[in-house]
Amino acid sequence: MVLGELLPNVNELFEWKGIFGPNTAFEFNKVALMAFVSTIICIALFWIGGTRRKLVPTGVQNVAEAGYLAIEENVSIAAMGDEGRKWTPFFATLFFWIFFINIWSVVPFIQFPATSRLAIPLFLAIVSWMTFIVTGFVKQGPKYFFSNINPSGVPFALKFLVIPIEFFSKYLLRPLTLAVRLFANMTAGHVLLAIFAIMTNELLVKHNSGLYQVIFSPLPFLGLVAFTAFEILVAVLQAYIFTILTAVYINESVHPEH
């Protein structure tokens, strides 16, 4: 098997290939399978880490506790203060699930992040959007809808301009940017890995001219290795950015600006 065949075809970003039958709108495909497995891994991590607790954490418990505390400190408290601690289970679930579906991008013979299909980032963005919207209505009542787009201190004459901008930004643009940011970054990473793999493969293959370019093949291969390591960082970073922005939006719903 040549190196270029180890990565999924870039066309899979746009094609829905069913696993058990012909393509349909509701077919269970590879992306759905990765999301399902990621969910099982996420549940298993915290189930094992939470039910087999020891005074001195080791193994899975150590990973689960360290990850949970990291999210509590760097997301919940950082974005919402001490009040954010009660939101940590939600933020930890969001972060780790996004991370697990992102990290497929560097798993050998798969190397295809589930978030490179727009449906999943869009679903996550809708969950985030509904969470901070519902939280705002619960905390502030019906006035939340208007107070959220009517910042104080703005002259009356400018409100006709500011209110539509705030409405578009907070109610329409936020979920869109959350989805597109996650989708675009993970898709770009997958495409880069595919390009460097194909370049390496082409330099290792004998062409019709009878010339070998093997001497140059280490260059794109080193790029492939470097971008694979970078993709791990991107998987973590994109999960964190999505989670911290969700926390910031929820904090605005809980503590409206006056």
Quote the pLDDT of residue 211: 57
Quote the pLDDT of residue 217: 67
Q: Are 253 and 133 in contact (CB under 8 A)?
A: yes
Task: Give the number of domains in the chain.
Answer: 1
Digit-coded pLDDT (tens) for 154-179: 677 777 787 788 788 888 888 999 99
Quote the pLDDT of residue 225: 85
- The DSSP string of 21-81 is SS--TT--BHHHHHHHHHHHHHHHHHHHHHHS--SS--HHHHHHHHHHHHHIIIIIHHHHG
Q: Which residue range forms the structural domain that includes residue 100?
A: 3-254
Digit-coded pLDDT (tens) for 119-153: 899 999 999 999 999 998 888 888 777 777 777 77
Digit-coded pLDDT (tens) for 207-251: 544 455 667 667 778 888 888 889 999 999 999 999 999 999 999
- Between 84 and 59, name the one with better pLDDT: 84
CA–CA dist 231, 125 (Å, integer): 22
Which residue in the block uniquely carries the two structure tokens 């926390």?
Answer: 247
